[in-house]
Amino acid sequence: MNRLQTADLIVFVLYFLIVASYGIYIYRKKKSTNTSSQEFFLAEGSLTWWAIGASLIASNISAEHFIGMSGSGFAIGLAISTYEWMSAGTLILVAVFIIPVYLKNKIYTMPQFLSVRYSDSVSTVMAIFWLLVYVLVNLTSILYLGSLAISEISGLSFIFCIAALTFFSIIVTLGGMKVIGYTDVIQVIVLIAGGLVTTYLALTLLSNKFGYGEDIWKALSVLKQQAPDHFHMIFSKGDPYYPELPGLSVLFGGMLVNNLAYWGCNQYIVQRALGADLATARKGILFAAFLKLLIPIIAVLPGIAMYVMHQHGMFQQEMMVNGVLKPDHAYPSLMNLLPAGLKGVAFAALTAAIVASLAGKANSIATIYSLDIHKKYINPQSPEQALVKTGRWAVIVSMAVAALVTPALRSLDQTYQFIQEYVGFVSPGVLAIFLLGFYWKKTTARAAMAGALLTIPLSVVLKFLPVWTNGMFPTIPFLDRMTITFVTVALTMVIVSKYFSKGGTQPHSLMVDPNQFSISRGFLVGSILIFGILAALYTVFW
């Protein structure tokens, strides 16, 4: 039944009150008499390792994981988990090789890095681009998918859901990164608990269907027996889903490019660690990596369970729209079967994921606008408290704009896939610009600008050339296109730096101390454990 019962509403209101009250408590407890911009935007020195780790995951997980990844689990199977499991390994690389460079050079925003390393022109171009993408793509997509899912589950109107999510997110974000970071701990607890409730329901239904009572362990063996094709991590050519997850590219190629760009060069993600010392930041990132290993349990397993049950005659009407099978309806269909109260927990979990992700992006928009646009070009003499006020207004305006644009997305099909690919047009170039800026001192501003300008056109050509040539040029899987774009942009930057930068802006050097890449024994043990788990998972489910 697509509406919330009284018990569900009570649970949800309690969740809202707890998050809001805890946010107010954190704001008042840690509020200083002279709030600095670094304190507001980065919670400088205020976040513990567990708050950093929880905030990283809360900002990352949103409706597309619960709804979209469960749908992919239904259609593709466990292989979609590679986005989560490879992220865990990538986070370790970011903690060792990227975060130390930011902290050593006191980098607070991604445009600031580009300004320090290259030039103000490169920084400004990318800052404007990031603001447009964050507001018009990221915020709107989260609002759209989140509002659509909540509306479908609760029976509330789509427009009301947009307004409610916007209001809730603004309230959380206005307190600054301290409030976001610590309330994200509650959000992560709620989203994992609610996700586990839905997974338990799916496995219990499956176990009952095959005559094993409520034995969820038997249900896991049933999954393997009934859907063996849904438990392979690596697809070979000829598999229908190879274009989406092309072979070993999910381990070493485009997936690595995608993850390094997302976790290492993305303001709203990296920002969580930039206000801490290196040891605390690394502990937080390691904690986030362990949490990442758990996400397929709450996001993918329910989708696979729904696939098996659908194959055996269950959920036939719920999964169909106008006679067409819709895998993305798997998770909402499950949630609607939860008993009163527990449905409220799962509903709160979904809302927590959406709100935390919206708050994280809105705070990053405010950070980039205030520090890289407003302070640099509009009011260079702006005092700290005025800069914080500017950031708060940036949050309100950006969320309002996103809320107004969001209804227009209803005309799109496959919104999540469209947005993933759209952002993927840019991330290979961003990663090339950042990595060469980190580790090759001769990279010039002219080369960085060339890389920034080349990325999108090259990605577009690689995508549409098969259409333009009537199939004479082969269709290249999305992740492989990212690899080709990254390598091409990096080589172009090397050539421009060596042969076409005479008389141009000379490269600025960053402080890179080899000692900063050394890690503690505890971090080493944790990293080995994560890579060991990944090796075991890919060996068992290859």
Tokens of residue 156, six digits: 């509330």
The pLDDT value recorded for residue 326 is 74
DSSP E strand boundaries for 256-371: 320-321, 324-325
Q: Do 357 and 62 touch, CB atoms closer than 8 A? A: yes
Ranges of residues in the chain with a pLDDT under 50 are 1, 33-34, 414
- pLDDT value of residue 163: 92
Alpha carbon distance 128, 105 (integer Å)? 23
User: Is residue 428 a contact partner of residue 257, using CB atoms and an 8 Å limit?
Assistant: yes
Residue 120 · residue 529 · CB < 8 Å: no
Q: What's the CA gap between 304 and 89, in Å, rounded?
A: 24
Task: Write down the pLDDT at residue 34.
Answer: 46
With 0-12 / 13-18 / 19 or more C-beta atoms within 10 angstroms meaning exposed / middle / buried, residue 521 is: exposed
Structure tokens at 242: 């190879």
Cβ atoms of 336 and 154 within 8 Å: the answer is no
- How far, in Å, CA of 329 to CA of 306, rounded? 10
Average pLDDT score, the chain: 82
Rg (CA), the chain: 23
Dump pLDDT digits (tens) for 247-277: 888 888 888 998 999 898 887 777 777 777 8
Q: What angle do CA 377, 440, 429 make, to 5 degrees?
A: 60
Burial class (CB within 10 angstroms; exposed 0-12, middle 13-18, buried 19+) of 204: middle
Under 8 Å between Cβ of 94 and 264:
yes
Which domains, ranges and CATH numbers included, belong to the chain? 6-415+516-540 (1.20.1730.10), 425-511 (no CATH)
Strand partners, 321: 324
In this prediction, residue 374 carries a pLDDT of 86
State the alpha helices, DSSP H only, in 175-277. Answer: 177-209, 216-226, 254-264, 267-274
Return phi, psi of residue 46, to 5°. -100, -25
pLDDT of residue 37: 58
How far apart are the C-alpha atoms of 502 and 489, rounded to whole Å?
20
SS3 320: strand
